[in-house]
Structure 1
Amino acid sequence: MPRLHFVGDDGTRYEVEARVGETVMLAARAADVPGIIGECGGSMNCLTCHCYVAPADIARIGPPTQIESDLLDGVIEARENSRLTCQIVVRADLDGVTFSVPQWQG
């Protein structure tokens, strides 16, 4: 199982085992990572699963779809490496990727 790393807004680190094929949001929620809420269940309506992908890992994740990109324009403190974790499907090659939870979400 790939291991994903999350950094909370207070600097606390979480290592999460994720199943290939599930979303990063579901893996984070199953592990109770603070700040990854996913109120809409992954339908891109709430933006409460927003995170920052570590710059070193962004190429491994791939770009957002146009719809996700448009939605990210409305996120508080959006950055170039902002993503919605509900839109990232876990793959084996994502082992070790780091996501940071924005302060306003934590």
Structure 2
Amino acid sequence: MIQVRFRLPDGSERRIGVAAGSTLLEASREAGVELEGACGGSMACATCHVRIPDPWFDLVPPPSPEEEDMLDLAPDWQPTSRLGCQIRLDRQLDGIIVDVPVSSLLDY
């Protein structure tokens, strides 16, 4: 199991263990984090936008050009922004911290 810690805009956290190969979007749903993910993870929107703080950001694979294009649509974009649907979790990311911006939550 890969451990993921979601930090929410209100300061609370949600932790979950998920199977290797899961995406951050899938993990968020299992953890009860209401990431919108309107396109269902097909990288056709930016509603699963998250931020990956250092040192974790350096451990995730770089975004594809297509993901970079979608990130241009993300409100509150930051240099460590990524799409949750594009990050597959593996042992290297065990314990990853993910910051969820308020603009990515369903009830925003």
TM-score under structure 1 normalisation?
A: 0.92
The answer on whether the counterparts of 1:2 and 1:93 sit within 8 Å (CA) in structure 2 is: no
1:18-57 map, 5 Å? 18-34=18-34, 36-57=35-56
- In the alignment, the residues of structure 2 paired with residue 9 and residue 75 of structure 1 have an alpha-carbon distance, to the nearest angstrom, of 16
Q: CA deviation at 1:103?
A: 2.1
- The one-letter code matched in structure 2 to 1:13 is E
- The one-letter code matched in structure 2 to 1:87 is Q
Which residue in the other structure is 2:59 paired with?
60
Specify every segment of 5 or more residues in structure 2 that has no aligned partner in the other structure, as ranges: none
Which residue in the other structure is 1:100 paired with?
99
Which residue in the other structure is 1:86 paired with?
85
1:4-15 map, 5 Å? 4-15=4-15
Deviations 1:14-73 (A, max 9, x none): 111111111111011112113x12121101123111100012110111211110011111
The answer on whether the counterparts of 2:45 and 2:70 sit within 8 Å (CA) in structure 1 is: no
Specify every segment of 5 or more residues in structure 1 that has no aligned partner in the other structure, as ranges: none
The answer on whether the counterparts of 1:3 and 1:17 sit within 8 Å (CA) in structure 2 is: yes
Could you list the runs of 4 or more consecutive aligned residues of structure 1 that deviate by over 3 angstroms after TM superposition? none
Superposition RMSD on alpha carbons, in Å?
A: 1.1
The answer on whether the counterparts of 1:4 and 1:96 sit within 8 Å (CA) in structure 2 is: yes
The answer on whether the counterparts of 2:5 and 2:96 sit within 8 Å (CA) in structure 1 is: yes
User: What secondary structure is seen at the aligned counterpart in 2 of 1:83?
Assistant: strand
- The one-letter code matched in structure 1 to 2:37 is G
The answer on whether the counterparts of 1:4 and 1:95 sit within 8 Å (CA) in structure 2 is: yes
- The one-letter code matched in structure 2 to 1:61 is V
TM-score under structure 2 normalisation?
A: 0.90
**Comparing 82-91 and 45-54, the one that deviates more:** 45-54
